[in-house]
Copies of this chain bind each other. A is one copy, B any other.
Amino acid sequence: MPDIHDLTRALQKDNGSRIVMLVADGLGGLPLEPGGKTELEAAKTPHLDALSGRSSLGLTVPVLPGITPGSGPGHLGLFGYDPLQYQIGRGVLEALGIDFDLGPDDVAIRGNFCTLDAAGHITDRRAGRIDSDRAAPLCAKLDQIQLPGAEVFVRHVKEYRLVIVLRGAGLGGDVDDTDPQKTGVAPLAPKAKAAGSEKTVALLTEFLKQAREILKDDAPANFLTLRGIDKKPTIPTFEEVYGVKPAAIAVYPMYRGLARLVGMNILDAGQTLADQCSRLEAAWNDYSFFFMHFKYTDKAGEDGKFDEKVRQIEALDAAIPRITALKPDVLIVTGDHSTPSKMQSHSWHPVPTLLSAELCRYDAAGKFGEQACRGGSLGQFEAKHLMLLALAHAGRLEKFGA
């Protein structure tokens, strides 16, 4: 039975059309009270509303009903990769989040500084949440470690969090966490989950031995635990499976990293939405697919700030005319998941999605929001099928079967 990408490989055609996928992170929301409006419904969005009248609306289910995705699965779904099939380890995601360019032979690991007592037992799994100013120099010290037969990179992320990358031939990524998930016990020794990762275990054992010596006087950060040890998944490239030339315009490194995972070209996005629009305009003739990422809707939701999320949605709305002025053949506005400010977290709620194209069924909704999307032509569908709709509306898919 062919999968989605077997289909798109067989059916793709290049007609020169252009697709823009604008992802407002955590776009979907919840009303604070029964009968109330969501953040998107409360926002004044004249440009998105006008666009709705020339669009098909719907709701995307990021993974499956009820499943709340992280940023990784949320974006892979939007990019048309089944997030249950392509799973990204936490170490890999952490590396992507600091713009570390992982190679196919790299093993990425998330590290947490921790505190050990005289008996070698963990007394604090986050080293008193030490601040970045104290943690960064410790990472620099660890980065000096030399291992036999492999390179090792140690990079600070934030506060007590760091990334370790092992680079060398023949390294497997099937190694258990060393974090025992409780205090009062010693960290676990690295242990292979499957054959082929013995060399990785040996390298990490040596790394931890040296790290223990290096950090011995640095309490509360006098050791570290390792989690999410993995290689990056092998993912067919966007260009190969869809036949488009893709570009990513994202301010935050995590989303550049996710785009890089599927082989998108990473453009310098600047710092603001206006910068991103300028980059889009400048690169317009060089690519056929543009992924633009807007972070602040999610951030406001995570902070529990309803009004701030409304304001960020309005800021996004103000940028729409610069995008529509380019006359993309298909313009999609969606999110990778919902982040209701009421929940202060990602959620499973389906995500309002708008697809505007010459060949769409026009829903003639007056307002872009959860309620209008619920009754829209696209219905409720798995996010992994959104790319099929994008390509179809762009005229980039041949007929299936005779």
CA A90 – CA B381 in complex, angstroms? Answer: 31
Contacts of A66 in B (CB 8 A): 385, 387-393, 397
Contact B31 A362 (CB under 8 A): yes
Name the B residues within 8 Å of A34 (CB-CB): 53-54, 362, 364
User: Do residues A359 and B30 form an inter-chain contact, with CB atoms below 8 A?
Assistant: yes
B residues less than 8 Å from A393 (CB atoms): 66
With A34-B54, A73-B401, A389-B65 known as contacts, the answer to whether A343 contacts B359 (CB < 8 A) is yes
Complex CA gap A401/B30 in Å reads: 22
A105 to B63, CA, bound (A): 38
Q: What mask results when residues 361 to 402 of chain A are scored 1 for a CB within 8 Å of chain B, else 0? A: 110100000100011111111000111111111000111111
CB-contact partner of A30 in B1, B83, B93, B361, under 8 A: B361
- Pair A401/B64 contact, Cβ less than 8 Å: no
Closest CB in chain B relative to A402 CB, distance in Å:
4
CB contact under 8 A between A359 and B342, given known A34-B54, A401-B70: yes
In the complex, chain B residues whose CB is within 8 Å of the CB of A389: 65-66, 348
A12 to chain B: closest CB distance in Å? 12
CA distance A374 to B34 in the complex (A): 19
**A260-B370 Cα distance, complex, nearest whole Å:** 39
Closest B residue by C-beta to A91: B402
A85 beta carbon closer than 8 Å to chain B: yes
The verdict on A326 contacting chain B, using a C-beta distance below 8 Å, is: no
> Residue among A63, A72, A370, A374 with the most chain B CB within 10 A?
A374
**In the complex where A30-B361, A364-B34, A380-B381 touch, is A399 in contact with B64 (Cβ < 8 A)?**
no
Q: Cβ of A65: which chain B residues have Cβ within 8 Å of it?
A: 378, 381, 385-386, 388-389, 392
Q: Is A2 an interface residue (CB 8 A)?
A: yes
Residue of B nearest to A4 (CB): B64
Closest to A385 in B: B65
Interface residues of A in 217-251 (CB under 8 A from B): 228
Q: Does A341 contact B (CB under 8 A)?
A: no
One of B1, B4, B377 near A85 (C-beta < 8 A): B1
Determine if A349 is an interface residue (Cβ-Cβ < 8 Å).
Answer: yes
| A347-366 interface with B by 8 A CB criterion | 347-350, 359, 361-362, 364
A48 CB to closest chain B CB, in angstroms? 15
* A323 interfacial contact with B, CB 8 Å: no
B379 close to A70 (CB less than 8 A): no
Which residues does chain B contribute within 8 Å of A2, judged by CB atoms? 84
The residue on B at minimum CB distance from A97 is B402
A83/B401 in contact, CB under 8 A: yes
A79-91 contact mask (Cβ, 8 Å, vs B): 1 or 0: 0001111011010
What is the chain B residue whose CB lies nearest that of A87?
B401
A137 → chain B closest CB, angstroms: 26
Task: Let me know if A283 is at the binding interface, CB within 8 A.
Answer: no
Q: Is A149 an interface residue (CB 8 A)?
A: no
In the complex, A148 has a CB within 8 A of chain B: no
Query: In the complex, which residues of chain B have a beta carbon less than 8 angstroms from the beta carbon of A186?
Result: none
CB distance from A373 to the nearest CB of B (A): 10
A-B contact pairs, 7 of them (CB 8 A): A35-B364, A64-B388, A66-B390, A67-B392, A70-B399, A345-B399, A375-B375
Chain A residues with CB under 8 Å of chain B are 1-2, 4, 7, 11, 30-31, 34-36, 38, 53-54, 59, 63-73, 82-85, 87-88, 90, 93-94, 228, 340, 342-343, 345-350, 359, 361-362, 364, 370, 374-381, 385-393, 397-402
